[in-house]
């Protein structure tokens, strides 16, 4: 159920400080829409936008909660859809369609199941498939450098939209480079204009970056935001498998706030969706394999090890420790309080809503946390 809300003007936010499961994030062996590089802080001479500038006057607006459905979690994801579509989950992004270097699309069998699409629509939700490049790091550059591949890519995505009972399309291209930044923006704008001309939703998913970051130079927030109806920011992947024991938070709220401080100066607030993870990581002290853990798996670990989770309010994330076969482990994950802390940023920044990575990684505690904050 999409719902309209009116927010009270909140006090300004002061000085506020990416992942396959880790997926439209990273971790595990499956491709995802993931942002796997940690946030980079650097000094810049660019003017600093005023974080103290209050949001615009409150107005009634629509709040949207979307969730990516990866092809490898379809069974558990369908359980989430059955339980929450239309009553907390407004938009489902089918995640199993990749852009190839020649501009054609590679589809995972079953991701476009018409029965699933019909169920989501019957419950009042939207179905917006995601087209990604995480399966081939060369695909986007090849498409942008070839006029024929570029034209074929746009037509392939429009054919996808026209050929299914879809409400729009979402782009998750994670290999844009500084060198092709402008061409990428033009490509997105050209596709977006044709999607909108069909009366459909055009969504763009981007990595999270803050003012002065030298990472993710290929993403022009202002240009991409102008082209999009919905602007999903992957504000997760702050810590991941590259980080040594004892690890750290996956999507700390103080970092998300800094990303939003930057984004709202360039993109309309009513387009922005805050990406939140339903996963975490398990760091062993002996240097062995760092394991990704879904929120569901984290709860199982808590039950089987007898550990007690603590909530770090300064980072907006939950953590616990346990010992297995003599090896100490530290786990950072998303519990209900973590999800509530991130969902609260929708009110604080008066943005459109949330984008969840990923359906099937969380269950009732996570979805009820979102509902408790956003459905009033």
**The residue to which tokens 């994030």 are assigned:** 25
Query: How far apart are the C-alpha atoms of 149 and 110, rounded to whole Å?
Result: 26
For position 5, what pLDDT does the model report? 43
Indicate whether 28 pLDDT > 70.
Answer: no
Chain-centre distance of CA 87, in angstroms?
20
For position 9, what pLDDT does the model report? 28
DSSP per-residue string spanning 73-118: GHHHHHHHHHHHBTTTB-EEEEEEEEE-TTS-EEE-TTTT-HHHHH
Please give the average per-residue pLDDT across 247-266, as a whole number.
98
Residue 44 binned pLDDT confidence (cut-offs 50, 70, 90): very low
Chain-centre distance of CA 258, in angstroms?
16
For position 62, what pLDDT does the model report? 83
Indicate whether 71 pLDDT > 70.
Answer: yes
Q: Where are the domains of the chain?
A: 3-278+336-374
Query: How far apart are the C-alpha atoms of 72 and 32, rounded to whole Å?
Result: 10
> pLDDT by residue (tens digit) across 191-248?
999 999 999 999 999 999 999 988 999 999 999 999 999 999 999 999 999 999 999 9
Quote the percentage of the chain above a pLDDT of 90.
82
* CB of 90 closer than 8 Å to CB of 52: no
Indicate whether 57 pLDDT > 60.
Answer: no
Residue 376 binned pLDDT confidence (cut-offs 50, 70, 90): confident
Indicate whether 34 pLDDT > 70.
Answer: no
**DSSP reduced 3-state for 326:** coil
Mean pLDDT of all residues belonging to the chain: 89
* CB of 68 closer than 8 Å to CB of 103: no
Indicate whether 331 pLDDT > 80.
Answer: yes
Please give the average per-residue pLDDT across 63-71, as a whole number.
98
Residue 59 binned pLDDT confidence (cut-offs 50, 70, 90): low
Indicate whether 256 pLDDT > 50.
Answer: yes
Which range is least confidently modeled, 39-48, 174-183, 356-365? 39-48
* CATH-assigned architecture of domain 3-278+336-374: Alpha-Beta Barrel (3.20)
Angle between helices 336-349 and 364-374 (to 10 degrees): 30
Among residues 256, 205, 192, the alpha carbon closest in space to that of 33 is found at 205
For position 19, what pLDDT does the model report? 38
Residue 21 binned pLDDT confidence (cut-offs 50, 70, 90): low
Among residues 171, 78, 168, the alpha carbon closest in space to that of 120 is found at 78
> pLDDT by residue (tens digit) across 129-147?
999 999 999 999 999 999 9
């Amino acid at each position: 159920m999409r719902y309209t809300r009116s927010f009270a003007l909140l006090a300004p936010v002061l000085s506020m400080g990416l992942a396959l499961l880790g997926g439209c994030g990273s971790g595990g062996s499956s491709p995802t829409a993931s942002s796997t590089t940690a946030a980079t802080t650097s000094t810049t001479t660019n003017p600093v936008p005023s974080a103290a500038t209050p949001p615009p006057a409150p107005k009634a607006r629509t709040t949207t909660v979307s969730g990516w459905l990866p092809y490898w979690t379809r069974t558990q994801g369908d359980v989430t859809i059955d339980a929450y579509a239309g009553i907390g989950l407004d938009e489902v992004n089918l995640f199993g369609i990749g852009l190839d270097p020649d501009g054609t699309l590679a589809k995972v069998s079953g991701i476009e199941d018409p029965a699933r699409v019909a169920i989501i629509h019957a419950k009042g939700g939207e179905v917006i498939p995601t087209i990604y490049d995480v399966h081939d790091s060369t695909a986007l550059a090849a498409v942008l450098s070839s006029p024929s591949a570029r034209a074929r890519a746009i037509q392939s995505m429009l054919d996808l939209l026209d050929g299914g009972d879809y409400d729009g399309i979402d782009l998750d291209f994670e290999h844009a480079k500084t060198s092709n930044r402008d061409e990428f923006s033009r490509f997105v704008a050209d596709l977006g204009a044709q999607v909108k001309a069909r009366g459909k939703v055009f969504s763009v998913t981007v990595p999270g970056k803050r003012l002065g970051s030298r990472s993710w130079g290929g993403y022009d927030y202002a240009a991409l935001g102008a082209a999009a109806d919905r602007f999903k920011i992957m504000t997760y992947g702050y810590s991941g498998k590259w980080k040594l024991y004892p690890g750290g938070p996956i999507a700390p709220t103080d970092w998300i706030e800094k990303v939003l401080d930057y984004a709202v100066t360039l993109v309309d607030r009513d387009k922005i969706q805050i990406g939140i993870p339903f996963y975490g990581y398990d760091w062993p002290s002996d240097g062995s394999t760092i394991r990704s853990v879904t929120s569901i798996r984290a709860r199982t670990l808590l039950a089987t090890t007898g550990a007690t989770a603590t909530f770090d309010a300064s980072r907006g994330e939950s953590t616990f420790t346990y010992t297995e076969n003599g090896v100490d482990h530290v786990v950072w994950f998303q519990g209900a309080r973590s999800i509530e802390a991130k969902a609260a940023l929708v009110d604080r920044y008066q943005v459109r809503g949330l984008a969840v990575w990923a359906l099937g990684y969380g269950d009732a505690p996570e979805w009820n946390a979102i509902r408790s904050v956003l459905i009033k």
